[in-house]
């Protein structure tokens, strides 16, 4: 069974072709390509929806061609066409979903609308065998630019939301703090790079809502904002002055910048780790998984892996190329759903606020 998937929920245009195997050895990724728009959005410090959708229109047809060539298959041999149906930017989701529907109609094959969060959620199982039967019960942490969630996974399509962020997502906090520090977008990889040479104990930053199953990162971001003028030795006299100062990207000495990045990163890791382990204990699973762009962070992966080991949980994460937005994870979720007998109506509309659990 071969599935072609498009992912255009935000600022990455991605196409992948995935073939399921009969021998229970896990699916074969025939091609997976991502056209990044980081350069186009970087100069605005964030994503501009109009630019994203225009770029999807340019990149998606090119990627369809190049993935078909790379996988050496004819599109008529594809068994189903899938696209991210939400959550995401409406005008971006529309591009991928319309193309997948068009292909499904043209070739007379099923269409599947996949929830972006389910794509992330299942990605740690990508290299595993046994298809949907391989999706074991687990507590899953999704950490991306748009979402921070803890999910209890019972089986494929059977999920329960344990907790979610009440304000900023972890990736969003990385991006916003990076912007304050004058680092380039996306901020997560930049902060991680600088944090490698920094002292995570140098600056005391808050670990919010540790007693709750929900998350909050906006207090941490604000704490960094108010720490910055103090670090540069500029104490604010008036609220207006304070606002002006806190909106300025600061130029810090290299070692102070490294220490601040390390302290900030560690505050995020502590919160994610504490809540994930507590949830795994409470819900009595033996497996913990992590996915989403922030799970590329090597220090998070290392510390979460160690914490799972100490507490007797198996730990699974996806390889980095499957953590940030990509179409292979959408194709994988589509393949598992197709094998389980699901398909979507062609009339199914995209939903920018699509929930993982309806
Ligand atoms: O999953 P993703 O590619 O897109 C969304 O669905 O949002 O996640 C993007 C987020 C960005 O906020 C980016 O800063 C963050 O993932 N990120 C990282 C790292 N790589 C990407 N955060 C921390 N450390 C990283 N190495
Ligand atoms: Zn994502």
**pLDDT (0 to 100) of residue 41:** 82
Which ligand is located closest to the Cα atom of residue 12? 1
What's the CA-to-centroid distance between 208 and ligand 1, angstroms?
20
pTM of the model: 0.94
Nearest to 172 by CA among 198, 146, 139: 146
Q: What is the mean pLDDT of residues 97-102?
A: 98
DSSP 8-state secondary structure symbol assigned to residue 208: T
β-bridge mates for residue 141, sequence order: 150, 290
- Check pLDDT > 70 for residue 25: yes
Q: What is the mean pLDDT of residues 62-79?
A: 97
pLDDT by residue (tens digit) across 257-274? 999 999 999 999 999 999
164 falls in which pLDDT band (50, 70, 90)? very high
123 falls in which pLDDT band (50, 70, 90)? very high
Query: With helix as H, strand as E and coil as C, how does 149-203 read?
Result: EEEEEEECCEEEEEEEECCCCHHHHHHHHHHHCCCCCCHHHHHHHHHCCCCCCCC
| Percent of the chain at pLDDT exceeding 90 | 84
**pLDDT (0 to 100) of residue 269:** 98
**pLDDT (0 to 100) of residue 129:** 66
154 falls in which pLDDT band (50, 70, 90)? very high
**pLDDT (0 to 100) of residue 128:** 75
Task: Report the alpha-carbon distance of residue 128 to residue 89 in Å, rounded.
Answer: 31
Q: What is the mean pLDDT of residues 205-231?
A: 94
Helix (H, G, I), strand (E, B) or coil at 281: helix
310 falls in which pLDDT band (50, 70, 90)? very high
- Check pLDDT > 90 for residue 173: yes
- Check pLDDT > 50 for residue 276: yes
**pLDDT (0 to 100) of residue 214:** 98
Which ligand is located closest to the Cα atom of residue 36? 1
End-to-end CA distance of the chain: 28
Q: What is the residue-averaged pLDDT of the chain?
A: 93
* Residues flanking ligand 1, CB < 6 Å: 10, 144-146, 171, 174-175, 186-189, 192, 292-294, 296-297, 324-325
Q: Which of 38, 169, 172, 174, when mutated, tests ligand 1's pocket best, judged by the most ligand atoms within 8 Å of its CB? A: 174
Tokens of 199: 């002292």
pLDDT by residue (tens digit) across 232-261? 765 445 555 554 555 567 778 899 999 999
Q: Which of 34, 143, 293, when mutated, tests ligand 1's pocket best, judged by the most ligand atoms within 8 Å of its CB? A: 293
**pLDDT (0 to 100) of residue 234:** 54
Q: What is the mean pLDDT of residues 164-173?
A: 96
- Check pLDDT > 70 for residue 279: yes
pLDDT by residue (tens digit) across 333-355? 999 999 999 999 999 999 999 99
Task: Report the alpha-carbon distance of residue 99 to residue 89 in Å, rounded.
Answer: 16
- Check pLDDT > 80 for residue 224: yes
Helix (H, G, I), strand (E, B) or coil at 14: strand
**pLDDT (0 to 100) of residue 236:** 45
The full DSSP string for 62-105 is: HHHHHHHHHHT--GGG-SEEEEEEESS-HHHHHHHHHHHHHHHH
- Check pLDDT > 50 for residue 83: yes
pLDDT by residue (tens digit) across 182-204? 998 889 999 999 999 999 999 99
Contact 203, 248 (CB under 8 A): no
208 falls in which pLDDT band (50, 70, 90)? very high
- CA 184 to mean position of chain CA atoms: 18
- Check pLDDT > 50 for residue 283: yes
Contact 177, 264 (CB under 8 A): yes
């Amino acid at each position: 069974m071969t599935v072609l998937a498009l992912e255009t929920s935000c600022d990455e245009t991605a196409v992948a072709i995935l073939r399921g195997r009969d021998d229970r050895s896990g699916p074969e990724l025939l091609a997976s390509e991502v056209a990044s728009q980081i350069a186009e959005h970087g100069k605005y410090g964030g994503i501009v929806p109009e630019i994203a959708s225009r770029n999807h229109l340019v990149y998606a047809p090119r990627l369809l061609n190049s993935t078909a060539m790379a996988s050496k298959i004819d599109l008529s041999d594809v068994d189903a066409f899938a696209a991210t149906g939400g959550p995401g930017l409406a005008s971006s989701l529309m591009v991928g979903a319309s193309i997948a529907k068009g292909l499904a109609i043209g070739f007379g094959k099923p269409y599947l609308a996949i929830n972006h969060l389910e794509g992330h959620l299942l990605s740690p199982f990508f290299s595993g065998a046994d298809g949907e039967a391989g999706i074991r019960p687990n507590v899953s942490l999704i950490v991306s630019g748009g979402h921070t969630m803890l999910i209890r996974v019972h089986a494929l399509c059977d999920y329960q939301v344990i907790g979610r962020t009440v304000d900023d997502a972890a990736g969003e906090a990385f991006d916003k703090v990076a912007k304050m520090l004058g680092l380039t977008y996306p901020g997560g990889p930049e902060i991680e790079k600088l944090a490698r040479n920094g002292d995570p104990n140098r600056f005391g930053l808050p670990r919010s809502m540790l007693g709750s199953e929900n998350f909050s990162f906006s207090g941490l971001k604000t704490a960094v904002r108010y720490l910055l003028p103090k670090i540069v030795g500029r104490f604010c006299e008036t609220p207006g002055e304070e606002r002006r100062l806190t909106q300025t990207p600061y130029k810090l000495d290299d070692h102070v910048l490294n220490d601040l990045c390390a302290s900030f990163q560690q505050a995020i890791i502590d919160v994610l780790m504490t809540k994930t382990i507590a949830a795994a204990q409470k819900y009595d699973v033996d497996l913990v998984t992590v996915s989403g762009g922030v799970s590329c962070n090597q220090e998070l992966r290392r510390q979460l892996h160690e914490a799972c080991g100490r507490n007797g949980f198996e730990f699974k994460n996806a390889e980095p190329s499957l953590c940030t937005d990509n179409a292979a994870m959408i194709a994988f979720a589509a393949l598992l759903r197709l094998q389980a007998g699901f398909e979507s109506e062609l009339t199914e509309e995209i939903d920018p606020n699509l929930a993982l659990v309806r």
